[in-house]
Structure 1
Amino acid sequence: MSAADLVPGWKQYIDRNAGPLYLSIVEALAESIRRDEIHEGDRLPPQRTLAKTLGTDLTTVTRAFAEARRRGLIEATVGRGTFVRVGATETRWRNAGRAVVDLTMNLPPIPENPSLQQLIQNDISRILRRQDLHALLSYRVTGGTSEERQLAADWMKPMLGARPADEVLVVPGAQSAMSAVVSTLAAPGDVIVTDRFTYPGIRTLAAQFGLLLAGVDSDREGMVPDLLDRACRQHRPRLIYCTPTIQNPTTATMSLARREAILAVAKAHNVQILEDDPYSLLLDQPPPALAALDPSRVFYVSTLAKVLSPGLRLAFLVAPPDAVQRMSSAVRAISLTCSGLMTSLVARWMQDGQAQAIVRAIRTELRLRQAAARAILGDGHCMHPDGPHVWLKLPDWWGSVDFVSYARRQGLGLVPSSVFTVEGEPAQRVRIALGSAATLDSLEASLHGVVSVLQHKRSPGYTDIV
């Protein structure tokens, strides 16, 4: 049966659907492909002809064709027309009509127990009854009150040990804290040494402040000390940036010996360290932070975004004693102060133990998701049993950008290695965030979709540009 012969049937299908007309057209096409009524390589009627037959306007059909191309159902060639794309029948994900499942953002899963919605509703109400509204909604002290800084110091004890509250600043997010450190310690043209595959936020800061990044290769324990030493000799950096625990994206975690070796290199070259530590509290017994091993050299950033919620917009910056005032001035210049309402909410949670309960629930859920990821994706990928992401290794026939582009056509949002690459060729890998899926079931379904894409071998003519 030709595509033209199918159009009257499409009209009946469309008339039975109550959704947007352009999406009904796409679903009618997808249904025909599913039923094997139309085949790969079949030519579709011209858009004007299709619009006339369906009794709609050209704009609606054009929009439908654009969506069908996005889903990987069709492809168009100037002068030849529009055809059912080769490979359109090869995966069950293409025809589901779902929006893209976003596995790009490293978000903590929202726990069912305790219920964040209930906690926020109840505790915000209590705060508003007990605290002055004007004070909550006004500008606040940069770096937090003495009580808030002490709560933050207590929160970080598992990684830092006992640290004086006056060396802690409460700041509106880790990026603000990192901006304060980077802009204070480095000037345009200076070099920051980091992992060759690193957190994109440091790349953004380097671009914003006119800094250069030099990448160092890593092994399973993170940055290799000998290579770091070589980079310091070559580039004379102003700062070393690293994530020693569950590195993003590689998941590498430094042993105590590796941490001491990295600090020894930094000391030998008289370089300070910016330690980004978003994930340590996901471990039952986190290793000591670099800042605990050498408090005079390391600027330490701990965010609540990955262990409670990014919506709280709170992080903690711990600085060497002689640098706290400079950091406070930089935070004030960059972001002024935190939200009084959110800070009060977090302080209440830390005081009554709710924050710790939320972390435990998130920790448990992520472990279940990591176990599911290993069962579905198999071994051979970079994974940490307590981590929020997977550094997925691709088969030989897939490049990172092409894989991500093709996966998006199947309704899966992933992150290519190019986003993390400081220098050299991007790895043949992509990052999968496990926490952003609403439920474990939905994550498992998405991971099965990733497996389908992994197994798909592109037709010779398949290309994509992003």
Structure 2
Amino acid sequence: MSAYPYLAHWKEEISRSPNAIYMTLADALALSIRKGDLREGDRLPPQRTIAEYLGTNLTTVTRAFTEARRRGLIDATVGRGTFVRVGAGESHWRHTGPAVVDLTMNLPPIPQDPPLQRIIQSDIAAILKQQDLNSLMSYRVTGGTLEERQLGAKWIAPIIGQRRTDEILVSPGAQSALAAIVSTHTQPGDVIVTDRIAYPGIRTIAAQFDLILVGVDSDMEGMMPDQLDRVCAEHHPRLLYCIPTIHNPTTATMSLQRRKDILKVAQRHHLHIAEDDPYSLLMDNPLPALAALDHSRVSYVATLAKTLSPGLRTAYVALPNADMTRRVAAAIRAIALTNAGLLSALTARWMQTGQAHTILHAIQKELRLRQSIARRVLGEGHCMNPDGPHVWLKLPDWWGSADFVAYARRRGLALVPSTVFTISGEPPQRARIALGSAPDAASLEESLHGVLSVLQHKRSPGFADIV
């Protein structure tokens, strides 16, 4: 095996890592590229050879190669083999140098009216005067106090209807809530079904708990019920994960009928649903959540990270019953323990005074402005929602997703390729643009003109296929 000295490093990484073998193997491959042990254009050994050397099975190596391909690290062609991709040595798609604007992070824009910095300074000062510092800086009850859960129930009531407080939890962010829900409903080796193009956070959770993700095809209304039915019959999943409103990244929003049809399939296959709903409250008249249509089958998560600020580290969780609330609260306690006291106090104050809705309305207004700028600059043909925080950019035939993003980065623009979101199958010729992270509308417009110029640029010889 001297021809492939990096394999010894991969074997060592697998032996000491607690993570799933296929994810560790993909990480080790990426590290070999960054260190220069593997260079652009290098051909990798056959998967069977790798499996035999590492003492694992061929399926695990295939999953690792699939993951590496999604990250834009390798290319594989039948009859030619697998090669390190051009641009893979540049830390994939992540921004590592100066950029006009980093358009990778799906953040709500910071409103200037009302002035958020001044509001936070004033409210923190008031909280410190009115509340005991020891209480604010100490550990708190997992799942939130009764008052915090009541405020959370009121915040999400327009989407899911009225709920008892013993069905509501306050979680330190949506990711920990989703991890808690997933771990409550699954065991290692179980299948989770989701969109074929899905939010990457569910992949992180699945890898951590050694779960298998199976993707379902979608159309302009999101996940297709007949495809979900087929996948359920074939794979017998334990859980469905979905974002029914302004899907990340495709922007698809399920119609009311589509929501009902998805719930019928879930009922037929005794499938529990984890509903991730970061964006509904950005809309003036959102559709009812799946949790409103089927109280007993859906665990619902609504983060404040996309409607107010990720800095609050707060998400509201609605569970089917009090017993499930206790079980998910125990999982949150094991994963993240509790919310931060000072941030919880600030969030509660904004909810009580109405400041939260004032900030929300300012963010809605700014996002709609930014979506209109994106439509004007980029033109039609891309997936957009006028209330959403991102654009699912359609690429011309000559651009693959990873190569497009790598070239855009060289031009000072940081975007996210479709490979990051692809659960199975070929990544679409798409990239995601986050509109909220630009400091203002003018800088966003300047950056979008830069994106347009990259879209119109024909691929250079440096991005030709490796042969």
Normalising by the smaller structure, the TM-score range is 0.7 to 0.9
Q: By how many angstroms is 1:100 displaced?
A: 4.9
Alpha-carbon spacing, 1:461–1:408, altered in 2? closer, same or farther (3 Å): closer
Q: Which residue of 1 aligns with 2:400?
A: 399
1:346 equivalent in structure 2: 347
| 3-state SS of paired residue (2:263) | helix
1:439 corresponds to which residue? 440
Alpha-carbon deviations, 1:144-197, whole Å to 9, x = none? 010000000000011011111111000100001001001111111100000000
- After superposition, the C-alpha distances for 1:108-167 in whole angstroms (9 at most, x for unaligned) are 000001111011100000000000000000001110010000000000011011111111
Letter of the 2:267 partner, please give it: K
Aligned to 1:212: 212
**Secondary structure of the structure 2 residue equivalent to 1:156:** helix
Report which of the two structures shows the higher radius of gyration computed on alpha carbons: 1
Quote the residue 1:296 is aligned against.
296
Q: CA offset at residue 247 of structure 1?
A: 0.3
Q: Is residue 329 of structure 2 the alignment partner of residue 328 of structure 1?
A: yes
Rounded Cα–Cα distance in structure 2 between residues aligned with 1:131 and 1:458:
60
The letter for the 2-side match of 1:271 is L
Task: Return the letter of the residue paired with 1:341.
Answer: L
How big is each residue's C-alpha offset from its partner over 1:381-434, in whole Å with a ceiling of 9 and x where there is no partner?
111010000000000000000000000000000000000000000000000000
Letter aligned with residue 250 of structure 1? T
Give me the whole-angstrom Cα distance separating, in 2, the residues matched to 1:161 and 1:271: 22
Q: Which residue of 2 aligns with 1:460?
A: 461
1:305-320 map, 5 Å:
305-320=305-320
Partner of 1:109: 109
Residue type matched to 1:408 in 2? R
Post-superposition offset of 1:461 = 3.8
Cα deviation for residue 99 of structure 1 reads: 3.3
Deviation track 1:247-282 (CA, whole Å, cap 9, x = no partner) reads 000000001100000000000000000000000000
1:359 and 2:383 are equivalent in the alignment: no
Contact 1:198 1:421 in 2 (8 A): yes
**1:378-389 correspondence to structure 2 within 5 Å:** 378-389=379-390
2:304–2:313 contact (8 Å) kept in structure 1: yes
1:26-175 to 2 correspondence within 5 Å? 99-175=99-175
TM-score by length of 1: 0.78
Cα deviation for residue 464 of structure 1 reads 9.4
Residue in 1 aligned with 2:80?
none
Structure 1 distance, partners of 2:359, 2:216, is 35
Residues paired across the two proteins, number: 369
8 Å CA contact 2:301–2:315 kept in 1: the answer is yes
Amino acid at match of 1:146: L
AA at the equivalent of 2:268: A
The answer on 1:181 being equivalent to 2:181 is yes
Q: C-alpha separation between the residues in 2 aligned to 1:459 and 1:250? A: 28
State the distance in 2 between where 1:307 and 1:104 align.
17
CA distance in 2, matches of 1:401, 1:266: 35
Q: Which residue matches 1:377?
A: 378
Cα 1:234–1:138, aligned 2, differ >3 Å: closer, same or farther? same
Instruction: Tell me the alpha carbon deviations over residues 37-94 of structure 1, each in whole angstroms, 9 at most, x when there is no partner.
Output: xxxxxxxxxxxxxxxxxxxxxxxxxxxxxxxxxxxxxxxxxxxxxxxxxxxxxxxxxx
CA distance in 2 between counterparts of 1:297 and 1:177 reads 17
Structure 1 residue 98 displacement after superposition: 5.1
Per-residue CA deviations over 1:184-242 (Å, capped at 9, x if unaligned) read: 11111100000000000000000111000000010111000000000100110000000
Q: Which runs of 5+ in 1 are unaligned?
A: 1-96
Distance of 1:449 and 1:300 partners within structure 2? 38
- Alignment partner of 2:461: what SS? coil
Task: After TM superposition, give the deviation of residue 102 of structure 1 in Å.
Answer: 0.6
* Structure 2 gaps, min length 5: 1-96
- The two structures have a TM-score, normalised by structure 2, of 0.78
CA distance in 1, matches of 2:188, 2:317: 23
Equivalent residues of 2:242, 2:274 under 8 A apart: yes
d(CA) in 1 for partners of 2:433, 2:183: 31
CA distance in structure 2 between the partners assigned to 1:463 and 1:437 by the alignment: 32
Root mean square deviation of aligned Cα: 1.2
Provide the secondary structure at the position in 1 that maps to 2:335. helix
Partner of 2:414: 413
Deviation of the 1:463 alpha carbon: 5.0
Is the contact made by 1:100 and 1:408 (CA closer than 8 Å) also made in structure 2?
no
What amino acid is aligned across from residue 148 of structure 1 in structure 2?
E
CA offset at residue 462 of structure 1?
A: 3.2
